[in-house]
Amino acid sequence: MESGGPGPRGLLLQLAVAHTASGGPRTAAFLSGFLSRFLLDPPSPELHALLGRRVEPSLDHDGLGARAEAVARLYADADPLALAKEWTRLFVGPRRAPCRPWHDTWESDGPPRLMGPKHTSMESFYRRAGLEPARVENEPADHAGLVLALFSALAARAAGGEEVGDLLRELWEAHVASWMPRLAETLIAEARVPALTAVGEFLLEAVSPPAGRGRHAPPEP
Amino acid sequence: MTLHDTTRRDFLKTSGTAFAGAAVLPGFLDGVVRRAAAPGAEAAATSQLVSACSWCGSACGFKATVKDGVLTFVEGLPEDPQGGGKMCAKGKAAAGYLYDPDRLKYPMKRTNPVKKIGVDPGWVKISWDEALDTAAAKLKETIEKNGRDSVLVLGLPSPDVWARFVNCIGTSNRFDHWDECFLANRVVSANVIGGFVWCHDFANAKYIVTFGWDLVGKAKVVWARAVAEAKKKGAKIVSFNPYKAAGTSVIADEAISIRPGSDLAVVNAMIHVILAEGLYDETFVKGLTNFEEHETAIRAHFAPYTPEWAEELSDVPAGTIRRIAREFATQGPAIAPIHKKTPSANYANGTETSFAITILNVLAGTIDRPGGRFFPRTHSIPGIDAIVPPPKYPAKSGVDIVGRHAHPFLKAVGSGMFSCLADGMRKNPGKIQMGIITRYSTMAFPNPPEVEAELAKIPFTVCTDLFPNEIIELADIVLPQSLSYESSDLVARDHHAPYKMTIVRQPLVPPMFETKPLGAILLAWGLKAFPEYWKNADGTPINMTVVLNEKTKRAGLGADFAEMKAKGFVADVAPFVPRTTFPTASGKINIYVKAFADAGFEPLPTWKQKRDVPSDAYPFYLLTIIPPMQIRNTTTNNRIVNEIKGTNEVFINVQTARGLGIAEGDTVKVRSRVGEIQLPARLTEAIRPDCVLVPHGFGHQSRLMTQAYGKGAKDAVLVPGQSMDDILARKDVGGSACIMDAVVSVSKV
């Protein structure tokens, strides 16, 4: 893939709460917002345009921005129909979608269900942030795209100097690190087009806990 | 596409509107996240809302608990006389439908031109605009190029907004499942008592005789609890059913294991006894029916149908028939209910059976009387056409592919005939160029494989549905429909309506994902395909909220729908005043139906054998039932009811099984002249030795329904379809689908 070599894992939280002096929160806001749109929206020219925007050098921590651009390029260069079909198969179904994007459907002991405790928990995170999902679709709040969107909004606040580190850490622990690596790994395993495999790899890199440092303990810079 | 060269401002926007005072926000979040309407607010308080269940006609009222925007619990509404505060398992499992991850969520289009169940359609999620633009363009093009009858519609004749849409199309090729359900009863009732009615006043009956209709086991709460109440009050219940474990047989005072397809013989023999012994309600029969006008013909007709004659056919002792006939006529109020997909009403002689049972009720003098079948007293809620009168609809040809036009009574009803659809499509190759299908699975048809083969040939199909059943895999465009828990409606009571009652159906939660209520889908589609029919007189689009407000007002239920929502339930309690005339041409009940005779059918219920009888090749009668926790085949994917009963089995008499070398749990093959299935054997003493029973609703082959897929087997595979020629040849005035007529062989695998 063109998204660059593997980088350190769990970057989103590290950038958002630890690398504040070097513009980490802005990069985290960019990356999580970028990934949220992959998960929320079927491929379209509008999405390609949005995702393809150049990353400012100051946001390019560890080459992440360049890799984001490479992922976006792969996405844009893919056969649109094949990409749309595969995106629908992976995230929507109605055949059993391998990458159901709702946290609750991954946690249930019995048959999967929607609008369970993970949705309720995400609703609570949104409320605490004074925000709400604004999608045309009335998605459960535990949709991976909405989780990352909230993370992005909070990281943006952190970039503006607001103290939201605790909320970011809680969100990370409850809805990102605890689930999204599994979602990303499944996406990598299931995707049949390189662009979506690349999204999965990039997602995995962004959301996995830092290797060897414990899942929820990002290093200090 | 190349990457854009943009500045930081393009992807990191300062959000002065949604995030005043906050820092930069990536442009990625535009339209994804916004500032909360009430920042810092706590979760919404728990609320309780009144609404009506939609999974069966009982439409039981319930109170829904909604916590933080999530439906968490439903419980019966005690003040609703229909449900009486009770709910069945499928009604209580509301959250299982609403929060099913398999439900249809977004409009989609097919990308794989190969149409076959089991072949991936290659779905792509699309916008509503694209879906409806495509569907509308295709509909207009199809009508223009191939005529209105080239559009096949599989859907019920209601609700009103759906009827308006179908009328805009102007096709005569609309079909539904009524022939498998209550069509025969409908034709009979319309011609005998003047109208089809659901209301049965079991609670005030003293004597209840059922022929195959499992009032208790079917779990339609409105009737199940009324029968239970009657029993508590001392009513006698007699259940004729070859399956003694049927709920009604279990609670009955007498459970009689009748030979399948012979109910008509028993009922005619009961009529024979009542007439011969003068036990009928003379005041009612002579005053309110055409009995006297046709007395000679009626007596002559029933004279040969002696209990001894019936015993030979039914295995019910003549003495028992005679005694029950006498008790029925003298220990009333007595009622013999007639329903639909019951073992008695859906044989080839099902129409005659419904006819005979209706006459039995007439002779007991309980039509529209306490303790009998009665006409509903309902609020008159106007349809959309009364509120926004449409331009004149296009004229229909009146000629359809199954040949309903050749049958005067089926043509008049204009519904049903799933049992003939495959035959009709085979006989009219290439006729159907577009399909519009709403909320039907191919499991709703006899012999699904032959129907699926025909439907797959339709060049373009639009499906609107709640769940991804089998037919969805044949669609070109899928339109996801909201559930009733996300929709608004007024539900006038018609299953138990001694006085006027209407209950609200209101959104408990907003429509999830991108689903839309059916009315909104049809309005949007209609505005694109037939705009002149979906606009007000001033040219503005019809507003469904305004229509609903107007319905509420005109029905006298409140100033607007908001008021009705606040009330929840409106009952105009009034004394029950029995009818003295009936809505027939003469105002009298027709025991002898001259209209049938004039059209070449039998004017009185005449014995005929069921279509298929056991033979050496197929020695067993096939019985089917719908388990109480399921509604046909539509609820099987609900994880809650699936946990209660997620698969089926074949019930075999213990002695029969022993003779075939079959033990409990063995996999057995059940084979009919059209198909075969395999299921585990469940041995029971409760079924006749010459019968096997397969519960309906299982064996989904749609991989889209992850809870139901691959569990159990479809009874319908064993059931032969039929043609209109078959119906006409047997002079079936009600067009029964014969879905209980199959005979089968059984062997250990």
pLDDT of residue B118: 86
Q: Is the pLDDT of residue A20 over 80?
A: no
Task: Show residues of chain A in contact with B42, CB under 8 Å.
Answer: 127
| Whether the predicted pLDDT of B394 surpasses 50 | yes
Q: Per residue in B26-75, pLDDT tens? A: 478 888 999 888 766 666 678 999 999 999 888 999 999 999 889 999 99
| B468 and chain A in contact, CB less than 8 A | yes
Quick check: is B445 in a domain?
A: no
Q: Does B9 score more than 50 pLDDT? A: no
pLDDT in tens, B275-315: 999 999 999 999 999 999 999 999 999 999 999 999 999 99
Mean per-residue pLDDT of chain A: 84
Q: How many CA atoms lie within 13 A of B631 on its CB side?
A: 21
Structural domain containing residue B356: 184-376
Q: What is the pLDDT of residue B15?
A: 34
Shortest alpha-carbon distance between residue A210 and chain B (Å): 25
Mean pLDDT across the stretch B668-680? 98
**Quick one: pLDDT at residue B221?**
87
Is B177 inside a domain boundary?
A: no
Residue of chain A whose alpha carbon sits nearest to that of B123:
A85
For residue A114, which residues of chain B lie inside 8 Å, CB to CB? Answer: 99-101, 512
Q: Can you name the residues that pair with B492 across neighbouring β-strands?
A: B502
The last residue of a domain, from among B313, B343, B376: B376
Q: Which letter does DSSP use for residue B148 in this model?
A: G
| Gap between the Cα atoms of B646 and B625, Å rounded | 15
Cβ separation B28–A112 shorter than 8 A: no
Residue range B2-19: mean pLDDT, rounded? 32
The strand pair at B460-465 and B477-480 is best described as parallel
pLDDT score recorded for residue B216: 87
Alpha-carbon gap: B637 to the closest alpha carbon of chain A (Å): 10
Q: Can the peptide bond before residue B159 be classed as cis, meaning omega within 30 degrees of 0?
A: yes
> Among A151, A153, A143, A186, which Cα is nearest to A169's?
A151
Query: Residue A3 pLDDT > 90, yes or no?
Result: no
Does residue B312 sit at the A interface (CB-CB below 8 Å)?
no
Residues 6+ apart with CB under 8 A from B504: B50, B51, B52, B488, B489, B490, B491, B561, B564, B565, B567, B568, B569
**pLDDT greater than 70 at residue B654:** yes
User: Looking at the domain assignment, is residue B337 inside a domain?
Assistant: yes
Domain of B66, CATH number, reads 2.20.25.90
Q: Are residues B189 and B62 in the same domain?
A: no
At position B160, the amino acid (one-letter code) is: D
User: Residue A173 contacts by C-beta under 8 Å, 6 or more apart in sequence?
Assistant: A215, A216
Q: What is the average pLDDT value for chain B, to the nearest integer?
A: 93
CA distances in angstroms from B701 to B119, B419, B698, listed in the order given: 11, 20, 9
- pLDDT tens per residue, range A128-143: 999 999 887 899 999 9
Residue B70: strand pairing partners: B67
Q: Report, in angstroms and rounded to the nearest whole number, the Rg of chain A calculated over CA atoms.
A: 16
**What's the pLDDT at B344?**
60
B208, two tokens: 């209840």
Q: What is the mean pLDDT of residues B74-92?
A: 91
pLDDT at A58: 65
pLDDT tens for B462-472 read 999 999 999 99
B255 within a domain of the structure (yes/no) = yes
Distance CA B695, CA B715 (A): 7
| B390 lies in some domain | no
Determine whether the interchain pair B22/A149 forms a contact, defined as Cβ–Cβ distance below 8 Å. no
Do B88 and B196 fall into the same domain? no
Choosing from B339, B354, B376, the residue where a domain stops is B376
Cα-to-chain-centroid distance, residue A114:
20
Residue B19 reports pLDDT greater than 60: no
Percent of chain B with pLDDT over 70: 95
- B512 versus B630: the higher-pLDDT residue is B512
User: β-pairing, B334-335 with B207-211?
Assistant: parallel
Please tell me the distance from the alpha carbon of residue B434 to that of residue B431, in angstroms, as a whole number: 9
Q: What pLDDT, on a 0 to 100 scale, did the predictor assign at position B16? A: 34
Between β-strands B199-200 and B207-211, what pairing exists: parallel, antiparallel or unpaired? unpaired
Q: Is residue B510's pLDDT more than 70? A: yes
The residue of chain A with its CA nearest to that of B42 is: A127
pLDDT: which is higher, B582 or A44: B582
Instruction: Give the whole-number percent of chain B exceeding pLDDT 90.
Output: 85
Average pLDDT for B551-572? 96
Prediction pTM value: 0.93
* pLDDT digit string, tens, across residues B516-534: 999 999 999 999 999 999 9
Are B51 and B197 contained in the same domain?
no
| Chain A residues with beta carbon closer than 8 angstroms to that of B22 | 156-157, 160, 162
CATH number, domain with residue B339: 3.40.228.10
φ and ψ at residue B115, rounded to 5 degrees: -105, 110
CA atoms within 13 Å, Cβ hemisphere of B115:
20
Give me the number of domains chain B comprises: 3
Mutation target vs A (from B15, B19, B33, B104; most A CBs, 10 A cutoff) = B33
* Residue A152 CA: distances (Å) to CA of A35, A56, A130, B33: 10, 17, 14, 10
Please indicate, yes or no, if residue B525 is contained in any of the structural domains. no
Inform me whether the pLDDT recorded for B194 exceeds 80.
yes
Chain A residues lying within 8 Å of B25, measured CB to CB: 29, 152-153, 156
Say whether A54 and B5 touch across the interface (CB within 8 A): yes
Report CA-CA distances (Å) from B743 to B651, B676, B737.
Answer: 14, 11, 15
Predicted confidence (pLDDT) at residue B594 exceeds the cutoff of 90: yes
Minimum distance, in Å, between the CA of residue A153 and any CA atom of chain B? 6
- What pLDDT does A8 receive? 42
pLDDT at residue B245 is higher than 80: yes
Beta bridge partners of B288: none
The gap from C-alpha B708 to its chain's centroid, in whole angstroms, comes to: 20
CA atoms of B718 and B721, how far apart (whole Å): 10
SS3 A152: helix
Considering only B11-25, B26-40, B392-406, which range has the smallest mean pLDDT? B11-25
Q: Residue A94 and residue B123: Cβ atoms within 8 Å?
A: yes
* Average pLDDT of the residues in A38-52: 85
Query: How far is B57 from B82, CA to CA, in rounded Å?
Result: 10
Given this model, what pLDDT does residue B292 score? 97
Q: Which is nearest to A4 in space by CA: A74, A76, A66?
A: A66
Per-residue pLDDT band at B219 (split at 50, 70, 90): confident
B85 and B188 share a domain?
no
ipTM: 0.88
Closest Cα to residue B467, out of B411, B510, B513, B527? B513
| pLDDT of B10 above 60 | no
Residue that terminates a domain, selected from B56, B79, B98: B98
**Could B123 and A85 be called an inter-chain contact, meaning their C-beta atoms sit closer than 8 Å?**
yes
- Which residues of chain B from 698 to 737 reach within 8 Å of chain A, CB to CB? 703-704, 706-707
Least confident span in B35-49, B415-429, B485-499, B692-706: B35-49
Q: pLDDT tier at B703 (50, 70, 90 boundaries)?
A: confident
Average of per-residue pLDDT across B18-25: 38
> Looking at per-residue confidence, does B128 or B703 come out higher?
B128
B658 near A CB under 8 A: no
Q: Which residue does chain B place closest to A146, by CA atoms? A: B32
HSE, side-chain direction, 13 A CA sphere, residue B441: 25
Helices (H), B456-568: 518-529, 544-554, 561-567
Which residues of chain B does A113 touch, with a Cβ-Cβ cutoff of 8 Å?
A: 95-96, 99-101, 639
Co-location of B188 and B308 in the same domain: yes
Q: Please judge whether A114 and B99 are an interchain contact, meaning their C-beta atoms are less than 8 angstroms apart.
A: yes
The mean pLDDT value for B491-506 works out to 95
Give contacts of A60 with chain B, Cβ < 8 Å.
none
Per the domain annotation, does B385 fall within a domain?
A: no
Tell me the range of B204-218, B340-354, B572-586 where mean pLDDT is highest.
Answer: B572-586
Cα B325 from Cα B341, distance rounded (Å): 24
Q: What is the pLDDT of residues B319-361, one digit of tens each?
A: 999 999 999 999 999 999 987 666 566 899 999 999 999 999 9
* Of A36, A48, A120, Cβ closest to residue B68: A120
* Minimal C-alpha gap between A212 and chain B (Å): 31
Tokens of B698: 């299982």
pLDDT for B341 equals 61
- pLDDT at position B25: 47
**For residue B7, is pLDDT > 70?**
no
* CA neighbor of B461 nearest in space, from B478, B444, B448: B478
Identify the burial level of A74 via C-beta atoms within 10 angstroms of its C-beta, where 0-12 means exposed, 13-18 middle and 19 or more buried. Answer: buried
Cα separations in angstroms, B34 against A139, B11, B543, B744: 14, 16, 28, 63
B638 and B669 Cβ atoms separated by less than 8 Å = no
Tell me, what's the pLDDT at B664?
Answer: 98
Q: Given this model, what pLDDT does residue A2 score?
A: 31
3-state secondary structure of B473: helix
In the predicted model, what is the mean pLDDT of residues B622-628?
90
* Secondary structure class of B182 (helix, strand, coil): coil
Q: Which of B29, B40, B514 sits opposite A152 (nearest CB)?
A: B29
Residues B200 and B51 in one domain: no
The whole-number average pLDDT for the span B428-441 is 97
pLDDT exceeds 90 at position B21: no
Confidence of residue B174 (pLDDT cuts 50, 70, 90): very high
Is B32 an 8 Å CB contact of chain A?
Answer: yes
CATH of residue B691's domain is 2.40.40.20
Q: What is the pLDDT of residue B28?
A: 84
Query: Beta-carbon neighbour count of residue A16 at 10 Å?
Result: 32
Lowest mean pLDDT among A57-61, A112-116, B139-143, B575-579: A57-61
Q: Is residue B415 part of a domain?
A: no
What's the order of all strands across the beta sheet hosting B489-492?
A: B489-492, B500-505, B569-572
- What is the DSSP code (8-state) at residue A142? T
> For B727, which DSSP code?
H
